[in-house]
Amino acid sequence: MKKIILSAFTFLLSLCVANLFAQTCSCRQVLDSLIKKTESNYAGYIHKVKEPGDGPYRKFVKELQAKAGSTSYIDCYNLLESYVAFFKDGHLYIYESAPATAAQADSLRALVKHYEVPADYAQQLLKNTRRDSIEGIWNDALNEQIAIVKISNDLFYGVLQKTKTPKWEPGMVKFELRKTGKNDYNITYTKGDFSTTRFSHERIYKNLLLGFGVYKLVKTTPQNAELQYVNTDNPIHPVVKVIDKNNIVVTVPSALIEEKELDSMLMKYQSVIESTPNLIIDVRGNGGGNFIWGGLYDIANTIVHPVDTKKPGEDDFLLLASEDDARYMDGRLGIYYKKGSPGKKYYDDLVIRIRNNIGRVIGFSYYSSGPDTATRKVYKNPEQVSVIIDKGVASAGEAFVMGIKETSSKVKLYGNNTWGMIDYMNVNTIAFGGKGNPRYYFGYPVYFAKDIKTNPRNPTGIKPDVYIPASNADWVKWVADEYNKRQ
């Protein structure tokens, strides 16, 4: 019989733990600080509020401020999320992080819920034809097996079944999901130290991948036709699979890996890739992260000599100059160059220029030692590069799609529109609200595309050349079959 098991002293302990996280900052103070940070750092505030008229925005802000007066610090998360959601930009977000000390972790551990998952849960899933798409048995990148079970109409528990994480054990509830719409979930996740963090409006992609923040899970039961293209032990890792004599697929579900990992995989299969006419690159669900794409660019490339079309002195991007931008450039970019080097001087000068233009929009480019004149190799095979995309492709994932399309005439996009999280880019995550707010952090995009008004990609996303029917169970096979029919 299913049952929730709670420690007998949970109530008393919750009072103790609440004291551990007592804060001096009120929700109104935190919200006001967030508003100030957004208006001074985010260029979208100019484009989406000031230019069209700030009436609706000011009304919305007043409503949130009124609610904040009666909202606790912990519950303030929902108001902060509502505020950043107004701008409809995935690169503008609230990140929640309050790591626990060893003593706090022991206290928090006792608050973790337990749930007894039936021994025949896998069989029950197969018999339940009306199950929610989130229900199933999942694996995560920590080598944990998690059963997601339905508790009530819109509440689900992610219950550990197998784990090697210290102090965690089967039956403990790792996260709770609240369904807020079709394939839309709010998640409260308990980290290894038993502190919690929340995520809003997360979705399942490819019918088997669930990603939120730096976490990604793959559903292994009930099985999906596309499970064969995913690393079920650790779903962030790339996979290469030969489909038939004409088709080979490289699946890259996450860019939160090192470039050398993908390069190593491509090197291992290099001879097969170079003898196969259609290379399928599946990046569905890839929400961005690191630049890992150099090897795939090289394979697909059709440009022997790159042509620099930029005019002398012309910048690549624009940014709304702020003190937080200056600190970002100094601490995140300039730090990679030695003192006295041209690169270090470039960023030192950029920091000065930003500080001299606070509140103004200025040009920005990354440091370059000179134009790229290297000769590129063009491979006979693959003769076609088929990139599969969906709404889960965002940020650096979209940058890859745009880049490979620009550097290769072999590329054909399949699937559905990407997210549309690329006009404003390169996130800076900062503290706000002072020492009274150690829990919430603000992420905003530092710069934006010069053609943001004439060629916007947010929120529509990048459109595929060929749409794949959403009802199709195996998009990789669909693309392979489409190619084979033309041979």
CATH classification at residue 138: 2.40.128
> Is residue 194 predicted with pLDDT exceeding 80?
yes
pLDDT at res. 338: 84
In a domain, 311, yes or no: no
In a domain, 357, yes or no: yes
Average pLDDT over residues 18-29: 66
- Using H for helix, E for strand and C for coil, what is the string for 21-67? CCCCCCHHHHHHHHHHHHHHHCHHHHHHHHCCCCHHHHHHHHHHHHH
Rounded Cα distance, 43 and 91, in Å: 12
pLDDT at res. 24: 55
pLDDT in tens, 238-278: 999 999 999 999 999 999 999 999 999 999 999 999 999 99
Average pLDDT over residues 339-367: 95
pLDDT at res. 38: 98
Rounded Cα distance, 119 and 161, in Å: 10
Residue 11: band (very low, low, confident or very high) from pLDDT cuts 50, 70, 90: very low
Which of 329, 346, 364 is at the close of a domain? 364
> Is residue 445 predicted with pLDDT exceeding 50?
yes
* Same domain membership, residue 149 and residue 217: yes
Q: Name the residue type at position 67.
A: K
468: domain CATH number is 3.90.226.10
Q: Name the residue type at position 417.
A: N
* Same domain membership, residue 179 and residue 297: no
* Same domain membership, residue 400 and residue 270: yes
Rounded Cα distance, 255 and 233, in Å: 17
Cα separation values, 344 from 179, 320, 333, 347, 374, Å = 48, 22, 9, 5, 24
Rounded Cα distance, 233 and 141, in Å: 7
Residues 6+ apart with CB under 8 A from 102: none
Exposure pattern of 154-181 as b/e (b: 16+ CB <10 Å)? Answer: eebbbbbbebeeeebeebbbbbbbebee
In a domain, 231, yes or no: no
In a domain, 296, yes or no: yes
> Is residue 179 predicted with pLDDT exceeding 50?
yes
In a domain, 463, yes or no: yes
- How many other CB atoms are there within 10 angstroms of residue 467's CB atom? 12
pLDDT at res. 370: 72
Of the chain, the percentage scoring pLDDT greater than 90 comes to 88
Exposure pattern of 305-334 as b/e (b: 16+ CB <10 Å)? Answer: eeeeeeeeeeeebebbbbebbbebbbeebb
> Is residue 305 predicted with pLDDT exceeding 90?
no
pLDDT in tens, 267-285: 999 999 999 999 999 999 9
* Same domain membership, residue 183 and residue 117: yes
In a domain, 369, yes or no: no
In a domain, 172, yes or no: yes
* Same domain membership, residue 403 and residue 262: yes
pLDDT at res. 312: 78
Q: At what angle do helices 27-41 and 76-85 cross, to 10 degrees?
A: 20
> What 3-state class would DSSP assign to 5?
strand
Residue 1: band (very low, low, confident or very high) from pLDDT cuts 50, 70, 90: very low
Which of 162, 195, 225 is at the close of a domain? 225
pLDDT at res. 9: 31
Asked if 376 and 440 touch (Cβ cutoff 8 Å), the reply is no
C-alpha distance across the termini of the chain, in Å: 57
- Report which of residues 310 and 77 the model is more confident about: 77
Rounded Cα distance, 232 and 281, in Å: 18
* Same domain membership, residue 461 and residue 436: no
List the domain range (segments joined by +) for residue 146.
99-225
Asked if 442 and 28 touch (Cβ cutoff 8 Å), the reply is no
pLDDT in tens, 378-431: 999 999 999 999 999 999 999 999 999 999 999 999 999 999 999 999 999 999
* Same domain membership, residue 250 and residue 398: yes
> Is residue 90 predicted with pLDDT exceeding 80?
yes
In a domain, 283, yes or no: yes
CA nearest to 44, candidates 457, 460, 355, 448 = 448
Which of 172, 193, 225 is at the close of a domain? 225
* Same domain membership, residue 173 and residue 63: no
Long-range pairs, 208-211, Cβ under 8 A, ≥24: 209/235, 209/253, 209/284, 209/285, 209/392, 210/134, 210/138, 211/253, 211/254, 211/285, 211/287, 211/392
pLDDT at res. 376: 87
* Same domain membership, residue 164 and residue 283: no
pLDDT at res. 335: 81
Q: Name the residue type at position 144.
A: E
* Same domain membership, residue 204 and residue 350: no
pLDDT at res. 384: 98
CA nearest to 33, candidates 435, 433, 422 = 433
Token pair for 484: 């084979």
DSSP label at 8? T
* Same domain membership, residue 274 and residue 141: no
* Same domain membership, residue 174 and residue 49: no
Of the chain, the percentage scoring pLDDT greater than 70 comes to 95
For the chain, the domain total comes to: 4
Average pLDDT over residues 110-116: 97
pLDDT in tens, 121-161: 999 999 999 999 999 999 999 999 999 999 999 999 999 99
pLDDT in tens, 366-385: 998 777 778 889 999 999 99
Token pair for 481: 């079959």
What are the strands of the beta sheet with 247-251, ordered from one edge? Answer: 239-244, 247-251, 278-282, 384-389, 411-415, 466-467
Rounded Cα distance, 431 and 62, in Å: 23
